[in-house]
Structures are given as C-alpha cells and as structure tokens.
Structure 1
Amino acid sequence: METKKSYWIYQIIGWSLYFFSDLLNYFTIFSFDFDEFNKLIGNLIVNVAAGISLTHIFRIIFKRYHWIKLPVTQLIIRCAAVVAIITFVLAAINIPMDRDIINTEKMNWALRDISYLINLTKPVLIWVLLYVFYNVANLRKNDAVERVQLESSIKETEAKILRAQMNPHFIFNALNSIRALITEDPKKAMSGITQLSNLLRSSLVSHRRTTVSLKEEIKTIQDYLSLEKIRYEERLQIKWDIAKETEGIQVPPMMLQTLVENAIKHGVQKALRWGFIEISSHLEGQTLLIIIRNTGKLEGTDSKSSSGGFGLENTKRRLHLLYGNKSEFRIFQENHLTVNAEIRIPLDHQ
C-alpha cells in the first residue's frame, strides 16, 4: 500500500513539475493576456492528466504481461515503441491546444511537429527508463530474498535429515544394551528402559528444535552413558568437567551424544582392559569450547588428521549449516592411546 501511494505522489509531482517548467519557458518567450494565461493553465492540467494516464496505462500493460521477464532485446523494442506512442499522443494533444495561444500556424509544420516530438520524448523516455530500472532492481532484490529463503529452507531440511540419520544407529545400540540385561538383571533392564525412554523423548524433541541448551544435551549424554555403563560396568570410566556458565549456551541437539556414541564404539569397545570418556566445556572469549576425550586410536590416519566414523561428517555439516565458517570441529590423536574431539561454537550466533 505504501509503494502504491508513493507511485501516485511521484506521478503527480513529476508530471506537474515538468509541464510547469515548460509553461515558464513560454512566459520567457511570449507575452500573454489574462485569457491566454487561463488557457495555458488549462493546457497544463490537461498535459499533467494525459502524462499520468498514458504512463499509467503503460505500467498496467508492463505488469500484466510481465515485460520485466522478457529478453533484453524484446524489452528495449517494446519500451521504445511505448515511448514513441506516448510521445505522439502528447504531441497530438498539445499542437491543437497551443495553436490559438502562440499561433503555431505561422511555423513550418514539419519543424513544428519535430520540435514538439523532441521536447515531449525527453520526459516520456526518462519516465520509462526510471520505471524499468526500478522494476529490474526490485526484481533482483526479490530474487536475492527468495534465494536466501530457499537456501535457509534447504539448510533446515538438510539439518533435519542429518538428525534423522543419527537416530536409527543410536536406538540400535541402546536396545542392544538393554537386551543384554533382560535375563541377567531384570531390575537393571527396567532402569535401562527408563533411560531409553528419556533418550527417545530427547530424540523426538530434536526433530522440532534447531538447538537445545548444553545442559539438556548433557542430560541426554548422561542417560546414554548410564545405559552403556550397565553394559561395560568398570570397563567404562566417565569424567565430567562442565563449566557452569556454559550450561545455558545453545548447541545442536543430539550432536554431542553422537560423538560420545562414536567414542564408545570405536574407542572404549575396542580397549583391552578398560577405557575412559572425558567430557568438558568452557569459554574461550566469545567461543564455547567442548572437548570429548576418549580411549582409542584413529584408524587409517596419521596422528593429526581427521578420522572417519559414524556421525563425524554429519557433525561438521550440521555445525556449518548453523554457524558457517565461525564454527570448528576437529578430531585428532592426542597421544598413542587417546583421541581428542574439539567443537568450537561462536557465541554471537546465540
């Protein structure tokens, strides 16, 4: 509505200023009596109305038939034809009106008509060029907005798909842990079912949320490790070092749980005697640093290279989707028995 209002204001002011300035030129060249002055004012009103009407008709045609989407050559040809038509119509209106005031009959008719066409072509051409350029700029702006919205939608869809890809693997491991306890220790199996219920609830919520607080994510990991602790008993040693000020910071849901699951599968599970998992978090300036250390070796890589394994590539992609290049994920061999995974999340995205 605001754009439409501005359009009509510019139309009235623009054409009024042009034809008023044209009227002033007449006063510098000719002298008029009162009746002729009234006729000039009448001519001014007719010209303003004609200019507004003709250009508005062009606008209607331009929008209805989507000229903005035409190839450049076709657009130029059609706009040139419109400029010629509007100019001829305005000239046809002005020549008869001016005849009685400035006695154009004494002029050479060819020179007179050419003079009118040249003078009237300028404002019409400027109007058409401004309108076309405005629409081109507006189209590019809208296309840019649509591209951003589309990219955002694609990223959100991709992030949801990545979260969905983690769930089957996680459920499979959790069910295996409980299945091993059903005959050996029913009470522990019941406790495990409660833990699994909490995990499934967290998993379901993760599909509807882009991020959760670190405190919620830690609770999910605790439920998961409780299940694995039942399975591995003393073979699994767990250490926590979560800074209080980091608990409210938002992180991608189920991401850390996937890394812990990966640490169990590729580290603790393969340890000959026992293995450990150490999870810590603290702030480094405007960055949240989360470290997951575990027993294990990166297979098929040197000590400083990234490792494969379930969920690692997804973790990189999810971080990139949410935080771009400001986030960082790396996993490396800290020493011959310890793997270190580090995640850096910028606080300015919170």
Structure 2
Amino acid sequence: MAKQKIYWFCQLFGWTLLILVEYLAYLLEYGFDADTFYLALANIFLGITLTHLYRLMIKRWRWVQLPFVQLAPRVLFSVFVLAIIMTMINMPVDWRIVPDKFVEEPWPVIGYILSWGKTMLAWVLSYTVYNYLEQNRNAEIEKILLKTSIRETEAKVLRSQLNPHFVFNALNSIRALVYENPTKAQQGITQLSNLLRNSLLADRRKTVELREEVKTVEDYLALEKVRYEDRLRSEIDLDGRTLYWQVPPMMLQTLVENAIKHGVSKAVGGGFVAVQSSIDADKLRIVIRNTGTLGDKGASGGFGLANTAQRLELLYGPEARFTIEQEDEGENGEPVVCAEIIIPAQSESLFRRRSSADLLTDQH
C-alpha cells in the first residue's frame, strides 16, 4: 500500500509540475486563455492515464523479467507510441490556438514527437529501470531464501541421524541384563532414553553446548560397554574452556559410533576410543582417536564421516574443517585412526545467544 501511494503521488505531482511549467511559459508569452488552460488540465489527465496504462502493460506481460536485449526495443517502441498519441491530441489544438508557432517550424510533427518523446522517455525509463532493479533484487532474495531453506532442511535431516542398528543392539544388551543385573538394566534403559531424546531434539536445534554433547557420548559409550565389556576402553579429556562451546548435536556421537563400528569391533582384542577438546588459535579443536585401520575413506568411513563434513560446511562454511587420517601405531602397537574437527571462534559467539532459547524450547 505504501508503494501505491508513492506511485500515485509521483504521478500527480510529476505530471502536474511538468504541464504547469509549460503552461506558465505560454501564459507569460500570450496571456491567459481558457482553451489553453483546459488543454493543460487534459494533458495532465492524459499523461497520467497513458503512463499508467504502460505500467499495467509491463506488469501484465512481465517485461521486467525479460533480458535486456528484449526489453530495450519494447521500451523504445512504447515511448514512440506514447509520443505519437500526445502529438495527435495536442498538435490540432495548438494549431488553432497558436498558428504562428507552426509558421516558424517547417516540420512541426517531428518537433512534437521529439518533445513528447523526451518527456515519455524520462518517465518510462525511470519506472522501467526501477522495476527492473526491484525485480532482480526480489529474484536474488528468493534465491537466497530458497538456498537457506534447502540448507536448513539438509541440516535437519543430518542432525536427526541415529543408527537403528545401534538401538537394536542396545535393546538386546539391556534385555540380557534384565535378569542378571536389574539395576544395570534400568541404568541402560535410562541411557538409551537419553540418547533417543537427544536424537529427537537434534532436528530442532542447530547447536548444543559441548558438555551436553559429551553427556550423550558418555551414555552411548556406557551402552556399548555393556555389549563389548572389557574389549572397549574409553577416555574423555576436555579443556574446561570448551565446555560451553556450541557444536552440532549428535556429531560426536556419530563419530564415536563410527570409531567403534569400523575400528574397535573389528579388532580381535578390542580397542580404545579417546575424545579430547582444546582451544587452538581461537578455534575449537576436537580430536577423536580410536583403534582401527582407515583404509578407503569412502568405504570405511560410512555415513558418519560424510554426515560430519556436510554438517560442518552447512553450519560454519569453509572455515570449519573435518579431517581423518591414519596415525602411526599406538602404544600397544595397534593401528590408530585420528579424526579432527575444527570449529571457528565466531561460531561460538554466534550460537551462544541461541543456547538459552534452545534450552527453554526443549523444556516445553
């Protein structure tokens, strides 16, 4: 509605000012004449009507969406037609009112067309260029919104992944404990419940505090230890400065799950998983080391590695980094795989403000 008001104000003010300036010039030279005054009013109305019809036409046929090479000739032809119409109406009236003017000009028709053509060209170009730029701006905004929507949808899908095979194995392990160790079975049910809850909430939150993500990892490791017993050793060493840093939800759990599935479970004597966090050059650095052989990244990494790399790029862009490589043999001569995550510092400050709101949302 605001744009409509501005448009009509510009139409009324612009055409009135233009015609009145020309009428005042005639008034100073020839004096007042009723016919000329009425012609001036008619030209104001005619100018507004013709240019408004042009506006309706380019909107109906969507000229501003055309390439420039197709738009330019249409605009020039429209200016010519509008100038012809104004000439056909004004020239006969002027011939009767000021015949002396036509004696001095051998080609009055051309003069009229050029005069009105300049006026119409100014209006048509102003309006068309404005709408052309606005159309391009709106198109860019739509592209950005569409791209953002796609990225957000992809991120939600990636955040909500929890391996169904793990859930199946965890339930089997808990079932075996129901009669042997009811207390441990209850604890396992609570830990599995926490994991499922965090997985369901993951699609509602872009990030969580590292300490919260580590609790999910601890629950996961506790459930896996029920299954692997002494074959699985774990260690978590966190820098206190990193506890409130915002990280993607379920990201560490996915990597730890990948480490056990493709590393520890395949080792004859079992193995270890170690998680360490630190601050390095104002960036969060998370390192996950585990027993295993990397081999082909595509084959051995599974969905978890592609998931992590894609989520980091969706959230943080090129400044975030995820790498995985084979290390030299560990202390016991066992092969070790090392995965490293780098999250830029500005992301911590960006998402810190979201943390409180996310937690309140989870409580409801």
Residue aligned with 2:310, SS: helix
Counterpart among 171, 174, 178 of residue 178 in structure 1:
174
Amino acid of the residue matched to residue 15 of structure 2? W
Please show how residues 139-178 of structure 1 align to structure 2 within 5 Å: 139-178=135-174
Match of 2:289 among 280, 289, 293: 293
Paired residue for 2:187?
A: 191
Kindly indicate whether residue 263 of structure 2 is the aligned counterpart of residue 267 of structure 1.
yes
Does 1:213 find its partner at 2:188? no
Secondary structure at 2:29 match in 1? coil
Task: Give distance in 2, aligned partners of 1:12 and 1:188.
Answer: 83
Moved more, 40-49 or 145-154: 40-49
Q: CA deviation at 1:313?
A: 1.0
Indicate yes or no: 2:25 matched with 1:32.
no
Contact 2:192 2:219 in 1 (8 A): yes
For residues 208 and 284 of structure 2, the distance between their equivalents in structure 1, rounded to whole angstroms, comes to 14
Task: State the percentage of identical aligned residues.
Answer: 47
Aligned mate of 2:323, from 308, 330, 348:
330
Q: Distance in 2 between matches of 1:151 and 1:33?
A: 64
* 1:188 Cα deviation from its structure 2 partner: 1.9
Task: Please list, as runs of the form range in 1=range in 2, the aligned pairs for 1:40-119 lying within 5 A after superposition.
Answer: 43-69=39-65, 75-76=71-72, 78-99=74-95, 101-104=97-100, 106-107=102-103, 111-119=107-115
Which residue in the other structure is 1:6 paired with?
6
Question: In the aligned structure 1, how far is the partner of 2:24 from the partner of 2:281?
Answer: 68
Paired residue for 2:357?
none
Query: Cα 1:207–1:173, aligned 2, differ >3 Å: closer, same or farther?
Result: farther
Aligned AA for 2:322? F
Query: Corresponding residue for 1:340?
Result: 338
In structure 2, relative to structure 1, the CA distance for the partners of 1:138 and 1:105 (3 Å cut) is closer
TM-score of the pair, normalised by structure 2? 0.82
Instruction: Please say which of residues 314-323 and 162-171 is displaced more in the overlay.
Output: 162-171
- Partner SS state of residue 277, structure 1: strand
CA distance in 1: counterparts of 2:9 and 2:219, whole angstroms: 66
Q: Is the 8 A contact 1:306 1:332 kept in 2?
A: no
Deviation string 1:112-169 (CA, Å, 9 cap, x unpaired) is 2221111101121232223222222222211111111111111222223334444424
Change (3 A) 1:105 1:126: closer
Partner amino acid, structure 2, of 1:343: I
Partner of 2:245: 249
Please give the TM-score of this superposition, normalised by the length of structure 1: 0.85
Distance 1:76 1:106, change over 3 A: closer
2:361 aligned partner: none
Mapped partners of 1:66, 1:243: distance in 2: 60
SS in 2 for 1:298: coil
Q: Distance in 2 between matches of 1:225 and 1:346?
A: 27
State which drifts further: 163-172 or 330-339: 163-172
Deviates more, 1:163-172 or 1:337-346: 163-172
Unmatched segments (≥5 aa) in structure 1: none
What secondary structure sits across from 1:315 in the alignment?
A: helix
Equivalent pair of 2:65/2:132 in contact (CA under 8 Å) = no
Task: Kindly indicate whether the alpha-carbon contact (under 8 Å) linking 2:209 and 2:243 is maintained by their aligned counterparts in 1.
Answer: yes
After superposition, the CA RMSD in angstroms is 3.0
Whole-angstrom distance in 1 between the partners of 2:146 and 2:101 = 64
Q: For residue 300 of structure 1, report the CA deviation from its aligned partner.
A: 4.2
SS of the aligned residue for 1:35 comes to coil
- TM superposition shift of 1:236: 2.6
Unaligned 5+ segments in structure 2 are 330-334, 351-364
Instruction: State the partner residue of 1:134.
Output: 130
AA aligned opposite 1:339 = V
Q: Distance in 2 between matches of 1:170 and 1:136?
A: 56
Q: CA deviation at 1:227?
A: 0.9
- Provide Cα deviations, 1:262-282, integer angstroms capped at 9, x if missing partner: 111222223344522221222
Task: Give, in whole Å, the separation in 1 of the partners of 2:306 and 2:201.
Answer: 22
